[in-house]
Amino acid sequence: MERHEIQSPTINWPELVRHVAKDQVVIELADGQVAMARLVPIHKPKSFVDLDKALRKLPPLGDDAEFFEADVQEVRSAMKPLVDPWES
């Protein structure tokens, strides 16, 4: 974690905020030896496009594909249908 002195005349606040957002780093702001605050990036929500990209990076099942499909079908058949699909 980077640490910056809040009394420093050389802090370029817009540049510091851009650095936190772009590089996804946390900056601790201090007054002398006392930590006063942290500047943290906002984590952007993931989209279905991100999920698709992540799933495509997974290795293929290969020989296990048929066993995996059988396991999924077994679990599905053992589950009772939900009355309310939003119920969890």
Estimate to the nearest angstrom the gap between the alpha carbon of 84 and the chain centroid. 30
Extract the tokens encoding 21. Answer: 């957002």
pLDDT band at 4 (very low <50, low <70, confident <90, very high): confident
Residue ranges of domains in the chain: 1-81
Q: What is the pLDDT of residue 63?
A: 85
Would the pTM count as exceeding 0.85?
Answer: no
The mean pLDDT value of the chain amounts to 89
How far is it, in rounded angstroms, from Cα 16 to Cα 22?
10
Cite the beta strand spans of the chain per DSSP E.
Answer: 2-5, 27-31, 34-39
The answer to whether residue 88 scores a pLDDT higher than 70 is no
Coil, strand or helix at 44: coil
Tokens 């201090």 locate to 30
User: pLDDT digit string (tens) for 18-30?
Assistant: 999 999 999 999 9
